[in-house]
Structure 1
Amino acid sequence: MKKIFYVLLSLGLLSSCDMELDQQPLASATSETFFQTAHDFNQGLNAVYAASRSFPDRLLNLSETRSDNLYAVSDGGVRDWEGVNSFHRTIASNPYVVDAWQSNFTGIFRANNYLEQLQSKGTTVITDEGLRKRMEGEVRYLRAFFYFDLLRYFGKLPIIDRVVSNNEASEIQRSPVSAVYDFIIQDLEAAINALPAPSGYATADKGRANKFSAKMLLGLVYMTRSGPNLGIEGPGLNSQEWEKAAAQFNDIIQSKEFAFLDSYASIFNYDNERNKEVIFNIEYSSGSNPVVGSTFPWVLVPDTWFQSKGFGTQGGLMIRPVAEDLLAKYSDTDVRKTFSIESGYTYGNVVETRSFVKKFVDITKVPKTSRMDWPINYIVFRYTDVLLLKAECILNGAAGNKATEVDAVVNQVRARAGLSGNLAGVTKAQLLEERRREFVGEGSRWFDLIRSGEVESVMKAWIAKEDVMNQMEDFQVNYVLYPIPQSELDTKPGLYQQNPGY
């Protein structure tokens, strides 16, 4: 099996009921009758993975669009991303915000159900103890993945670690961020002990979570928790765990399972999936029925660009222009700019001079039947990120040599991008800007700004400079977090308090 196939409809156990806070994720009777064979458990595991399907789109809509990489105010009618980009106070019902909450909790509810079924039936149904252990590790990794995604967007969260009844769910309040972190770390430590390295998987299962994807996430968790608290109940707790994070990244580097590719474009090549840069993918399979391909390639690409190439409606409606501030940060010889950003186009009699991100689009791979079915995986964690995150840890006090590790890594990244001249004495600010250029369109910029503590000063200065249409609200630090969806507040009034600023 080339891909981890997403089982969304055929199982008979996944429905819209697991999208609501006050519902059990899976009907207990259905679960009892479904998990009867090892194949059933494999299908159920794939269903937990399936909850991550919208993760890349969410990064582009809530992180990339929120950051200073895009000036995404619309000139052609109100779009859902405008309130995100422009820091509107009234986005508690925004569909992107709602999806972030519901999709992640769907994954958590499925994970809880799966773990309970594995506990009650696993030893009888799955006789291979190593396989049972691996399956548990995958699910605990995924549950941590979903919770970390939620924490970075919403701060405090209800900790739901088991299948709960409607009445029980309606009494579970949001726990402090510190407690959510403890829960995430517990899951990741268990996953690390249970999961093999990528080389330990058979070819058919290469896309599954592995020991080092769990270490990567744990390192990022430590780094995020180490960031300043900014005076809000957000992801930064000023815990100063840079050394712990660096230890996770060192393990990944020393494993020799991954490598720094010589070509930037080859990392994202449709015919080079699961290359040596890739630590963890969101996997898709195009050409299936129901459609389970990817949608993220076109999210930041306007319809009219595809139409100018002779295709029908394929893109994300209107253009979300790349910020002029970011464009100015690229050298003319930087291959990352030419690969990732389209600098204008002509459609009919209209000349569009603004730029947009087209990083994940291969025009020869446009789906013939549905724009919901692109044949490309999303790289969640890649090896270049490991190297640069370790460098960030060193600049924040972790053990390491700034000249031979920080400077060397940044210059390695720059050389691949086609830039000449080595930097010496790389600062935190320089590293942050290099990450901005390297990971444009990958959804990391917003979280980088928060982790660095620079988000308020950067965004205020950027809005003053970039907002030529005068459509953005004044930035306040409360906007580091998104509002709790109004639908969740309405489920049981008083259970949750809205995040400040909304």
Structure 2
Amino acid sequence: MTGKESLPNYRQYRGEALFIRSWFYFNLYRAFGVVPIARNVVNPEAAKSIPRCSEQEMYSLLVSDLTEAASLLPAKAGAEKARVTDIAAWTLLAKVQLTFKRHAEARASLDEAIKNTSYGLMDNPADVFDVNKKFNKELIFVLHYEKTNGEGHGHWYSQKSNVLSEINSPSPELRALYSTDDLRRPLIWEYIKQGSLYVLKKWYDEYDATYTSHVGNDFPFLRYADITLMYAEALAETSVSDALVWLNKTRTRAGLSELTIAEVSTRDQFIRALADERGREFALEGHRWFDLVRLGLAIETMRAAGFTLDEHNLIFPIPQNQIEIVNNASILWQNPGYNS
């Protein structure tokens, strides 16, 4: 081996770079649809001549990058625990494949993710977010904060005396998803008073009394519960009964009874049950909108909550300043429904 491949940790660094590139391109795609793809470093002028890609080009890039990343990344984090491991690449790839309606491929990627036995569900939902249990086995990819060196953050706190009524959080629609015996309910329903502040239980850090800038909770982007519920989603295309086995893993962990095939017998019923379960499990973690879009329930759900939107609102408009910079409608054009 010669050249750059002989450098210490080259394989891991390349795997991390491919994962991060995929992470950003996938989020760009979910927000704006197809975008220009730069596979190599280009100068600003050259970038203006790169057109928006096709759906297939975007999918191929993400599959190629994440498959290679998974082959290069370690199975377990070392001393720097916040670094990416192979399970993160397989999990993100499965989410990509479900977004592109490639359910069989997503199941295969999740099979690979599950082979990494260093990860799994925690026994109690609250343990996932416990600041004293950072880097627990459920957390696959997180934004790491360390308050002891000044790199903490402020998260979900209020100075209101009657916090639940005055800031109206959570919303009535979110509250309606939870039964009173759901162990996840207090995490988003209850605040803890510390000093003059009220801190949401899901992000509670009792070590810090100010909650202004030095809270030590890591923010989870991917966790093992996503694997179980994506596996359910992938299986639902061929067998609702098999899919229920995987959906019920987070339900029973939260103290709820299992859903049965008598209650959820069709794929449509299952997808609605899955959307509700993902809403409960990932509340305030940034998944809800993209879950509803992927499952085909965004317009219906948002209209029921009083919002006015239609099909074109499922992606955002391309920023006008970017269109003006390129100044070529054949290279960068506005998404349908947003032209003035």
CA distances 1:259-296 after superposition (whole Å, capped 9, x unpaired): 221111000000101111112222222243xx53345x
How far 1:359 sits from its partner (Å)?
Answer: 4.9
TM-score by length of 1: 0.59
Structure 1 residues 247 and 482: alpha-carbon distance in aligned structure 2, compared to 1, 3 A threshold: same
How far 1:448 sits from its partner (Å)?
Answer: 1.2
- Residue from 88, 95, 105 that aligns with 1:244: 105
Task: Give 5+ residue unaligned stretches, structure 1.
Answer: 1-119, 227-240, 310-314, 349-355, 464-471
Distance (whole Å) between structure 2 residues aligned to residue 133 and residue 340 of structure 1:
40
Matches within 5 A, 1:258-407: 258-288=119-149, 291-295=150-154, 297-298=155-156, 301=157, 303-305=158-160, 308=161, 319=167, 321-342=169-190, 358-366=200-208, 368=210, 371-397=212-238, 402-403=240-241, 405-407=242-244
Structure 1 residues 342 and 210: alpha-carbon distance in aligned structure 2, compared to 1, 3 A threshold: same
Give the corresponding residue for 2:85: 210
Distance (whole Å) between structure 1 residues aligned to residue 140 and residue 220 of structure 2:
8
Distance (whole Å) between structure 2 residues aligned to residue 267 and residue 371 of structure 1:
23
How far 1:416 sits from its partner (Å)?
Answer: 2.2
Distance (whole Å) between structure 2 residues aligned to residue 477 and residue 323 of structure 1:
24
Matches within 5 A, 1:26-45: none
Distance (whole Å) between structure 2 residues aligned to residue 161 and residue 145 of structure 1:
14
Letter in 2 for 1:293: G
Structure 1 residues 326 and 385: alpha-carbon distance in aligned structure 2, compared to 1, 3 A threshold: same
Q: Is the 8 A contact 1:340 1:440 kept in 2?
A: yes
2:311 maps to 1:477: yes
Structure 1 residues 331 and 173: alpha-carbon distance in aligned structure 2, compared to 1, 3 A threshold: same
Give the corresponding residue for 1:422: 258
Give the corresponding residue for 2:336: 500
2:281 maps to 1:438: yes
SS in 1 for 2:152: coil
Distance (whole Å) between structure 2 residues aligned to residue 366 and residue 480 of structure 1:
39
2:27 maps to 1:185: no
SS in 2 for 1:379: strand
Q: Is the 8 A contact 1:218 1:248 kept in 2?
A: yes
- Residue from 225, 230, 253 that aligns with 2:100: 225
Distance (whole Å) between structure 1 residues aligned to residue 140 and residue 27 of structure 2:
18
* Greater relative contact order (Cα < 8 A, sep 6+): 1
Structure 1 residues 448 and 411: alpha-carbon distance in aligned structure 2, compared to 1, 3 A threshold: same
Structure 1 residues 170 and 410: alpha-carbon distance in aligned structure 2, compared to 1, 3 A threshold: closer
CA distances 1:150-198 after superposition (whole Å, capped 9, x unpaired): 1100112110121111220222222123212211211111101111101
Q: Is the 8 A contact 2:178 2:185 kept in 1?
A: yes
Distance (whole Å) between structure 2 residues aligned to residue 331 and residue 377 of structure 1:
27
How far 1:375 sits from its partner (Å)?
Answer: 1.3
Q: Percent identity?
A: 30
User: How many pairs align?
Assistant: 324
Q: Is the 8 A contact 2:191 2:201 kept in 1?
A: no
Give the corresponding residue for 1:451: 294
Distance (whole Å) between structure 1 residues aligned to residue 199 and residue 52 of structure 2:
36
Structure 1 residues 222 and 357: alpha-carbon distance in aligned structure 2, compared to 1, 3 A threshold: farther
TM-score by length of 2: 0.86
